[in-house]
Amino acid sequence: MARVIVVGDGPAGLSAALFLARSDHDVIVYGQDETAMHYALLRNYLGVDEIDGTDFQERARAQVADYDVPVDEREVERVERDGDGFTVTVAGGDRDRADYVILAGGKAAQRLAEQVGAERADGRVVVDTEYATGVDGLYAVGRVARPDRSQAIISAGAGATAALDVLAREAGRAVTDWDTPDD
């Protein structure tokens, strides 16, 4: 079981947390619910006719809570490499440790990526197709990686993509997260 710290509680971070928790990994989300979603009225999220952004966030947080993922309201102030993993320092000075860190804190989190050595170019954190940065085990999803492609469904998809990459790395093979209806 891997420990994963998700920095950010918008659609990107909560989506990553959901996928990881469903596969029984140890996940914590840091975030203050200060997402731009509270200004949005979604009419472009496939499968949902219309939903107020605050309602979306409440549902997403409840969905993640159902998998016992803690959401800690302290701000993450620093991310550092620590052996094979990472140490994260939160407001107040407490430290947390993880095997993987997923940065999902919007544009504000770009400085955390830089601190830990991820490349930044053209106002974005550089990531590959799985949203992995050049720092092994560090991912950047949503607005932190694509500030000029800011849509809720893109952020949620990026979080899920990064989570599946973590799951695949841990399993040593490709992983899917599929449910089917009961008969």
Residues 133-162 close enough to bind ligand FAD by CB under 6 A: 142-143, 150-153, 155
State yes or no: residue 75 binds ligand FAD (CB under 6 A). yes
Shortest separation between residue 165's beta carbon and ligand FAD, angstroms: 17
Residue 174 to residue 168: CA distance in whole angstroms: 5
Q: To which H or E segment does residue 81 belong?
A: strand 76-82
Shortest separation between residue 171's beta carbon and ligand FAD, angstroms: 25
> Among residues 2 and 140, whose Cβ is nearest to ligand FAD?
140
Residue 64 to residue 48: CA distance in whole angstroms: 19
3-state secondary structure at position 152: helix
3-state secondary structure at position 75: coil
State yes or no: residue 106 binds ligand FAD (CB under 6 A). yes
> Among residues 128 and 149, whose Cβ is nearest to ligand FAD?
149
Residues 6-65 close enough to bind ligand FAD by CB under 6 A: 7-13, 30-37, 39-42, 44
Kindly calculate the radius of gyration of the chain based on its CA atoms and give it in whole angstroms.
15
111, 118 Cβ separation under 8 angstroms: no
> Among residues 23 and 155, whose Cβ is nearest to ligand FAD?
155
97 φ/ψ angles, rounded to the nearest 5 degrees: -125, 145
Residue 7 to residue 10: CA distance in whole angstroms: 10
Count of residues interacting with ligand FAD (CB under 6 A): 34
Interface residues with ligand FAD (CB under 6 A) are 7-13, 30-37, 39-42, 44, 75-76, 104-106, 108-109, 142-143, 150-153, 155
